[in-house]
Structure 1
Amino acid sequence: MHWITVPLTLCLIAPTMSLPATMADMDRMRHDLSKFLSIPRSNETEKSVARAAIKRALEAVGLSSMTHTFIHEESNEIGANVIAVQKGPYFGTGNDKLVIMSANYDTLEGSPGVDDNGSGVAAVLEAARVLSTLDTLYPRQHTIVYAFFDMKHKALAGSHAFVEDILLPLMDRTSTKVIGAVIADGLLHFDPFPASQAMPTDFESFFPDAAQQLHEHSHMGDFIQISSRIGVDEDLVKAFARAYNHSSEMLSTEWQFHPWHLHLQMDITSIQSLDRLYKLHPFLFSDHSSFFFHSKQSDVQIPTIYLTDTLNLRGVRQYCAQCDGLYMMTEQNMKFLALMTDSLIRFLIEMSESAAMSVVDDLYAMLMNYDVRH
């Protein structure tokens, strides 16, 4: 394995809670989480049920999907990603640009996986639903790919196979450019209590400034983490921050938006073992690594950001690995998921250059007026 030097940017964005009207349908996401994203998805029987439900949800909004199978090199197990494409007018040509929205759907053995990563899957499905509806009214310039990865918990095998088997060959064959990939990995857990947020072992030695700022915030789990590389992913981070900021402002005049951006540089060559790398989880060891480190990384860099609530580093999940169940679907957590999904929708509208960008604020106003009347 060859390591390269990759400077990383970590952005922590902290909101306060209120009751918003959103383009994301909270009830629909609650349905998805409770019906097929709250049961373990670690063996093939369990995962096949989830895949079928994901494919049905995509089909319901007019999106056909494909199953991308691959072999996990260490165990020889067969894995399966689900991929759907909303084609732009230049699809398959050098004039096309891809925006990738992704989440893994597998879980740790025995875990119901509501937050990790049912919440990411629910958010990506809801974004696909909204963008499909908008497509009937507003033209869009760029292609959107929705990818649901298998085997994140087995050395990121699904996302690695997607990048190597599908994405890089497509880019090479058609000269298509990827303008952004988003990895959604835990978007549900909001815990605004002091000492609810932990840090990985050795995190302070890797990121002393981030550790200090978390300390100044009383170690509250009231933020969304954005991980990225300095330079390569800078425009993508700014685009998501704009979307998140605007969503927060539009959802409620009382919803104060407090972003705090931590610019961190890390020399990957200093990490000499996978164990050392794992200690940075979830800041690096997730599906975004497949987009950072690939067979053509010296020539092709794929702008990528990783969104997470930090998973088992927050709240009760620090102490209870099996607590990632329906218990997580509190009203406060669902509001947090709605905000994150709403931000992803606005982000996709901007990045795909949908004509809906010109009317999206009017859509918010209509939703808010509807809420006031009802």
Structure 2
Amino acid sequence: MRLILIFTVFYFVEIYGLTTIADVDRMKHDISKFLSISRHNETEKSVARVAIKRALEAVGLSSMTHTFIHEETNEIGANVIAVQKGPHFGTSQDRLVVLSANYDTLEDNPGVDDNGSGVAAVIEAARIMSTLDTLYSRMYTIIYVCYDMKHKSLAGSHAFVEDILLPLVERTNAEIIAAVVVDGILHFDPFPGSQAMPAEFETLFPDAAHELHSHSHMGDFIQINSRSRIDDHLVHLFSKSYNRSSEMLSDDWPFHPWMLSLKMDIANITSLDRLYKKVARDQNGLHPFLFSDHSSFFFHSKKNDFEIPTIYLTDTLNLRGVRQYCVQCDGLYMMTEQNMKFLALMTDALIRFLIEMSQSSAIGVVDDLYSFMFNIDVE
């Protein structure tokens, strides 16, 4: 009886012959509706922001707009935040999990992959987790964030960490057990030579470079950036979720996306400010691998007191396929059958990861539901 009830609540979707937890049609709708036009100036961003808030509220989550001032330009930015509270929220017994993506774009860039795909995955993960809450208990709090101003010195994520997250931890003594930053998870290009990398890649990550070479430099992977030692446990847990999601979809998709793990030693970079100085780039060579919102979690103001376990997921954005030569070629034509399957895989992996990290009791039934649904033809 319990299984039948879940079947009626969840929309385990078969799309392009692929059965997934995530509803790909919903993600296609969100991307097409409000994540496929430039989100660079305030007028453009406000339209997307309202739509993101409505999408989060439609799944039963109250959302808030967190406004901040860019420290260098005095521009006003706005993040969208939704909190899925656990039973211990506001106490030292809580453990916080953050899932986030930026919603702004470069000027005149439609931003379907960068980063409409990341925002769509955050919204869909929130929908699934909210639905699970009607059936299963969950121990810990999940915070969903869509950042503004990634393309302006990471101002939105920096403001969120400093103005919202750290004060919450200081006030409640809760622990941040995971932060995931998603930055382009749509583009899949399994053709030899379709993947480029920054000039520093082979020197800094020789093992990863060898692995990419063995795959003929195809853009058929997800890249996961982390810090050596600090984030190893998080990388392991996400890898487990990713690999299991890949296994569940392997019979329906001939391609086998893999994971390229880049573990960084950032001991010589002590602050976010130093990240942007030429000397830091010259001495460490890590600038291309740090220039996204995960750096706001790496280099926060309480870094001497505690670290925030963080991973960054990306399809490498304009280093893959046609976007190497045309950065602004990021429109609706990116939503091919193959790319949507890749987005579905990544979103499923994120959902599995959230279930485990938040200690939802649904962890015991997800595989059973997959197996059940894989034997059913969905019209």
TM-score under structure 1 length normalisation = 0.91
> In the alignment, is the contact (CA less than 8 A) between 1:19 and 1:252 conserved in 2?
no
Residue 273 of structure 1 deviates from its aligned partner by: 5.5
Which residue of structure 2 lines up, in the alignment, with residue 5 of structure 1? none
Gaps of at least 5 residues in structure 2 are: 1-15
> In the alignment, is the contact (CA less than 8 A) between 2:222 and 2:260 conserved in 1?
no
> In the alignment, is the contact (CA less than 8 A) between 1:209 and 1:262 conserved in 2?
no
Which residue of structure 2 lines up, in the alignment, with residue 245 of structure 1? 243
- Give the secondary-structure state (helix, strand or coil) at the position aligned to 2:145: strand
- Give the secondary-structure state (helix, strand or coil) at the position aligned to 2:246: helix
Which residue of structure 2 lines up, in the alignment, with residue 299 of structure 1? 305
Which residue of structure 2 lines up, in the alignment, with residue 274 of structure 1? 277
Alpha-carbon distance in structure 2 between the residues aligned to 1:342 and 1:329? 17
Residue 42 (structure 2) pairs with residue 77 (structure 1): no
Q: 1:363 to 1:282 in 2, by over 3 A?
A: farther
Q: Which amino acid aligns with 1:76?
A: N
Q: Which amino acid aligns with 1:360?
A: V
> In the alignment, is the contact (CA less than 8 A) between 2:225 and 2:263 conserved in 1?
no
Moved more, 295-304 or 253-262: 253-262
> In the alignment, is the contact (CA less than 8 A) between 2:222 and 2:257 conserved in 1?
no
2:340 pairs, out of 324, 334, 343, with 334
Deviations 1:70-94 (A, max 9, x none): 0001110000000000000000000
Which residue of structure 2 lines up, in the alignment, with residue 361 of structure 1? 367
Residue 355 (structure 2) pairs with residue 349 (structure 1): yes
Alpha-carbon distance in structure 2 between the residues aligned to 1:90 and 1:104? 28
Alpha-carbon distance in structure 2 between the residues aligned to 1:145 and 1:368? 31
Q: 1:59 to 1:264 in 2, by over 3 A?
A: closer
Q: 1:196 to 1:358 in 2, by over 3 A?
A: same
What percentage of residue pairs aligned between the two structures are identical?
Answer: 71
Alpha-carbon distance in structure 2 between the residues aligned to 1:277 and 1:90? 42
Q: 1:108 to 1:93 in 2, by over 3 A?
A: same
Structure 1 residue runs of 4 or more that deviate by more than 4 Å after TM superposition: 254-264, 269-273, 278-282
Alpha-carbon distance in structure 2 between the residues aligned to 1:257 and 1:43? 35
Moved more, 133-142 or 280-289: 280-289
Residue 197 (structure 2) pairs with residue 199 (structure 1): yes
Aligned 1:51-90 pairs, distance under 5 A: 51-90=49-88
Moved more, 199-208 or 356-365: 199-208
Residue 274 of structure 1 deviates from its aligned partner by: 3.2
Moved more, 18-27 or 103-112: 18-27
Which residue of structure 2 lines up, in the alignment, with residue 231 of structure 1? 229
Deviations 1:36-68 (A, max 9, x none): 000000000000000000001011111110100
Q: 1:160 to 1:76 in 2, by over 3 A?
A: same
Query: For the aligned residues, what is the CA RMSD?
Result: 2.0
* Greater relative contact order (Cα < 8 A, sep 6+): 1
Alpha-carbon distance in structure 1 between the residues aligned to 2:212 and 2:175? 36
1:119 pairs, out of 98, 117, 121, with 117
> In the alignment, is the contact (CA less than 8 A) between 1:206 and 1:266 conserved in 2?
no
Aligned 1:4-83 pairs, distance under 5 A: 19-83=17-81
Alpha-carbon distance in structure 1 between the residues aligned to 2:264 and 2:300? 22
What is the aligned residue count? 356
> In the alignment, is the contact (CA less than 8 A) between 2:99 and 2:181 conserved in 1?
yes
Deviations 1:293-337 (A, max 9, x none): 011111120000000000000000010021011111000000000
Alpha-carbon distance in structure 2 between the residues aligned to 1:280 and 1:318? 20
TM-score under structure 2 length normalisation = 0.89
Alpha-carbon distance in structure 1 between the residues aligned to 2:262 and 2:200? 17
